[in-house]
Structure 1
Amino acid sequence: MTRPGRLGVGVVGTGRVGAVLGNALRGAGHPVVAAAGISEGSRERAETLLPGVPLVEVPEVVRRAELVLLTVPDDALTDLVTGLGDLGAWQPGQIVVHTSGRFGTDVLAAARGVGAIPLAIHPAMTFTGTSLDLSRLAGCPFAVTGPNAVLPIGQALVVEIGGEPVVVDESARGLYHAALAHGANHLVVLVAQAAQALAAAGVADPGRMLGPLLEAALDGALRAESPSDPSGDRGPGAISALTGPVRRGDDGTVREHVAVLGALGASTGAVDVLAGYRALARAATQRSLAAGLVPDAAATRLLDALAGGDVPDVTSATPAAAPGMTGDAGWLEQEGRPADDPSAGSDDGPTGPDRPQEDER
């Protein structure tokens, strides 16, 4: 028997995100009444995660659904919503949800203008597009943005699929997304740089060497950044988990690091490794000083050490090719898209209401 308050769900974009969230909503008792997918991979995901759901054109998905889930790339979202508005597809009282981290609900103005209920619900996780993601939704934070009167609807939907709703104001959505991108995307770059240096040092399996150290460092930083008492006082935050030469004020070691990483850049073209080291070590020094973790004199010596040596011209050298660098198949995999996904190319085709791309985060 259908539980009260169940909504007919339409999924626009059965990429890795849409197919999984559609499955999760179905598991919570909301029937998925229609879906739209373009690529062969998206259609296969729909068959696997949304079996029996009819695949139809986008306007037909919107026509059939009480809850429309828009899981398309950020750059396609505005044109899609506007195009559907031009077709008169949006309906009063219809709940329209997008999963973009970048946008709040202003991007849904065309739907809101006819009386639809706009919500932005962004899961702070990456997706494989398989059933493995369903268990990972449990406890996953979701940024929920919307008009105050309808925020409880978005929060309830998140809770129903096992997530943890976190309200993010419309005006803060860009900063929220930049913070996540900075933390997650640039962590990957940091690992790539450290792994390249280890490989140059003769370590056969850099990932194996880095694993325990990075896992412990990340765990310590995240624990330090979480409020540990009812007042919510974080103290100095994640920087208090810092270890290594900056925390010790060991400028001699820092000078040696600058020298050997400079040599690595000169021999391989990987000048970004030293540039990244310098930028992060300066930030570590400044934050440690502000938190009272290193004295003024030590901070001055550290900054002097980081300024020493020749500064490579990062515009005149190209890092040696390594797995996962822009332009090869590994990069596309890191972007959350299969290397052979047509949506990764430049000839994507139209991205209007009839041909949206899927969000392959």
Structure 2
Amino acid sequence: MPRSPEPMPLRVAVVGTGRVATALAHGIAGLRGQPCAAEDLDVELIGVAGRDEAAAHDLAAACRTSALPLAVATAGADLVVLAVSDDAIPAVAARLAGAGAPVRAGGAAVHVSGATGRDALTPLAAVGWATGCWHPLQAFATRRSRIDPGSLWTVTADPALTRTVTALTARLGGQAHPLADDHRAVYHAAATLAVTSAVAGIAQAQALLSRCGLGDAPTVPALARLVAGSLAGVAEVGPAQGLTGPLVRGDLGTVRRHAAALAEQPPARDLYAASGRAVIPLLAERGLAPEVTAALAGALDGPPGT
């Protein structure tokens, strides 16, 4: 019997040359030649497009693919991934829609913004493209950052496109979850809160340690390891059980000493108090008595008059 023809791979073009685009391009290019089960999605990175042509050529060369003009990307790709800044998405979508290239049957475009909805891709939807949002819940701190296997990705799209990007997510080692369009801003605010609060805490802690005479010590790596160890516990057992420090021990005297020591350091004092108040509800889950948590909450604001 004649063999069934091999299914065509999903042809993907990445638009953008920043940190997320770089990680995606390397991740998708890295799927080339990897063994996969018959039911898995086969994927091919056909090229990279970007406003900065030199950067696009460099990224394409690093991924062993082609640097493409936008019109060629839209003509040759089954899926175009817009990995550009949030504010640039509508303009890039309009350029793609006006490129004049024919829409491939089943052609689709997604952006990778966490907070932006599908409406940013309206120009593409108007010319027949399926559109959606595909966001990795992962920090891309440098251009050396790569896709982290095990990351959670959110998808906002119609069922057919959701199936495609879910399969692509699985090939990248991630887990895709649907997200309603009207929840995207809150979702991304949550992600930003988690990251920004950790970085803000390390920045304020570094400044305090410098005032303690530790300015020449490698305090940022040390603090990052401290935070990483705490977060590893949180990842394993959840926020309430993973919380450490004087608050969860009910060490009222220590909290008072902290507040007094920070009284003349407004940014650190305010962040210490705000983050402490934010975890007060978790203390009840750890079994602290209501009168103890109330006393701790009062101590966070420092002695009277501060």
TM-score of the aligned structures, taking structure 2 as reference length:
0.83
Does the C-alpha gap of structure 1 residues 112 and 259 become closer, same or farther in structure 2, counting only changes over 3 Å?
A: same
Give the match for residue 38 of structure 2. none
Which of 295, 299, 306 in structure 2 is aligned with 1:301?
Answer: 295
Give the match for residue 55 of structure 1. 68
Equivalences, count: 287
**Secondary structure of the corresponding residue to residue 149 of structure 2:** coil
1:183 aligns with 2:205: no
Distance 1:302 1:185 in 2: 25
Q: Which amino acid aligns with 1:278?
A: A
Contact 1:19–1:46 at 8 Å: present in 2 too?
no
Which of 17, 21, 25 in structure 2 is aligned with 1:14?
Answer: 17
Give the match for residue 116 of structure 2. 103
Q: Deviations over 1:60-97 (max 9, x none)?
A: 32233222111101111122213433555572521112
Q: Deviations over 1:321-355 (max 9, x none)?
A: xxxxxxxxxxxxxxxxxxxxxxxxxxxxxxxxxxx
Does the C-alpha gap of structure 1 residues 211 and 32 become closer, same or farther in structure 2, counting only changes over 3 Å?
A: closer
Give the match for residue 285 of structure 1. 280
Q: Which amino acid aligns with 1:166?
A: H
What is the 5 A alignment of 1:1-361? 3-29=6-32, 30-39=43-52, 40-49=54-63, 51-56=64-69, 58-89=70-101, 91=103, 93-127=106-140, 128-130=142-144, 133=146, 136-203=147-214, 204-225=217-238, 238-263=239-264, 265=265, 271-289=266-284, 291=285, 293-309=287-303
Q: Which amino acid aligns with 1:146?
A: A
Contact 1:9–1:22 at 8 Å: present in 2 too?
no
RMSD: 2.5
Does the C-alpha gap of structure 1 residues 126 and 89 become closer, same or farther in structure 2, counting only changes over 3 Å?
A: farther
Contact 1:8–1:33 at 8 Å: present in 2 too?
yes
Following superposition, the deviation at residue 14 of structure 1 comes to: 2.6
Distance 2:138 2:102 in 1: 29
Q: Deviations over 1:175-214 (max 9, x none)?
A: 1111111111221111111122122222323235435532
Greater CA deviation, 191-200 or 35-44?
35-44
Where does the alignment leave 5 or more consecutive residues of structure 2 unmatched?
Answer: 33-42
Contact 2:47–2:60 at 8 Å: present in 1 too?
no
Q: Which amino acid aligns with 1:253?
A: T
**Secondary structure of the corresponding residue to residue 221 of structure 1:** helix
**Secondary structure of the corresponding residue to residue 100 of structure 1:** coil
Distance 1:256 1:90 in 2: 68
Distance 1:286 1:84 in 2: 49
Distance 1:286 1:46 in 2: 49
**Secondary structure of the corresponding residue to residue 67 of structure 2:** coil
Identity of aligned residues (%): 30
Q: Which has the higher contact order (CA 8 A, sep 6+)?
A: 1
Does the C-alpha gap of structure 1 residues 310 and 274 become closer, same or farther in structure 2, counting only changes over 3 Å?
A: farther
Where does the alignment leave 5 or more consecutive residues of structure 1 unmatched?
Answer: 226-237, 266-270, 313-361
Distance 2:185 2:233 in 1: 27
**Secondary structure of the corresponding residue to residue 201 of structure 1:** helix
Distance 1:243 1:172 in 2: 31
